[in-house]
Amino acid sequence: MKKLLILCSFLAITATLFAFIGKPQKYNDGVYSGESRSIYIQEPYYGQTTVTIKNGEIVDVCFKIVDKEKNEPFDEKYEKHYTGNDEYVQQCRKDWEGVQTYPKKLLKKKSIEKVDAVSGATWSYNLLKASLQEALKKAEIKK
């Protein structure tokens, strides 16, 4: 009975310590940036992501896509390059929607793997994912 009491006390103390300490941090606190073309290496578009990490968690995300050939951001006006091609105009709009919504979803879910791609906006999702991974490589706690 005494051994059981000691074991229960030990387990309670251990559980309390782990709850207090929490899980080990994977990332250093700070601001980190990453850039990537993802799988689109034949295109001049780069995803650029800046993440702020506090207490080991992502607390802010800034994401944009830049056309380095035209030296211009991919934004709500970018579709002007495809005037007359309704399919490309719609594609621009869907991907712009992704650029705007993915950072919010990432903050809520805390993991890019838990963020679902917006239908028709896989390109912007892939650019975010790849550039985020580059930023997080810089933030990783080295063991």
pLDDT in tens, 3-45: 544 544 444 454 444 544 556 788 999 999 999 999 999 999 9
The distance of Cα 116 from the centroid of its chain, to the nearest Å, equals: 12
Considering the entire predicted model, what is its pTM? 0.81
Residues 6 or more apart whose Cβ sits within 8 Å of residue 106 = 58, 61, 112, 115, 128, 132
Residue 132, burial from CB neighbour count under 10 angstroms (0-12, 13-18, 19+): buried
Return the CATH architecture of domain 24-139.
Alpha-Beta Complex (3.90)
Q: How large a percentage of the chain has pLDDT more than 90? A: 77
| Structure-token match 């211009």, residue found | 72
How far is 27 from 42, CA to CA, in rounded Å? 32
Q: Where are the domains of the chain?
A: 24-139
pLDDT category, 122, cuts 50, 70, 90? Answer: very high
